[in-house]
Amino acid sequence: TAWFACLRPDGLYVAFSCREGAAAAPAAAGTAAFSIDAWRSLPAVAVRVEPRRLWPSLWFAAAAGGGVSRSISGSPEARVARVEHGWQGVLRVPRDLLGARWREDDPLRLDVQRSVPGVGVLTWMAQHPQTPRLCLGSENPADLGWVLPSE
């Protein structure tokens, strides 16, 4: 899995390319919107974003079949296509879903994860869950990397 992120005035863009082995089942076309809690059971890419330092993470996901996660705060937009040896796409998280206090010149902490049914979840940053606590759950801020705005 390869990916890159771009911060723009209208939000966060994450482009990704997912390679599948010969044994991988093709994703069903036209996957409907799904609960963010269900993304780990689909061939999908998820982005975990910390909208503000030490705030609970927001999760956004796109499935290989084109569906996107839905949540109380809204849904991201995604374009996904099958390509030789896998699938690729772009996930756009609109600015209003990132939180009112996020500014386009602020760095953003995130992790990009990929769910591969039958294999598990692959992560960019190593995961070190903490003892669950209040609204943060077991999230560990050290498990996130940085995306810095650039000109």
pLDDT of residue 23: 43
pLDDT tens-digit series, residues 39-60: 888 999 999 988 777 778 888 9
Q: CA-to-CA distance for 13 and 145, rounded, in angstroms?
A: 15
Contact (CB, 8 A) for 86 and 79: no
Its pTM stands at 0.84
pLDDT of residue 21: 66
Cβ-Cβ contacts under 8 Å for 30 (sequence gap 6 or more):
65, 66, 67
Q: Give me the chain's average pLDDT, please.
A: 83
Q: Which long-range contacts (CB under 8 A, 24 or more apart) does 55-60 make?
A: 55/99, 56/135, 56/136, 56/137, 56/139, 57/139, 57/144, 58/97, 58/98, 58/99, 60/36, 60/91, 60/93, 60/97
pLDDT tens-digit series, residues 90-139: 999 988 888 766 677 778 889 999 999 989 999 999 988 888 877 777 88
**pLDDT over 60 at 26, yes or no:** no
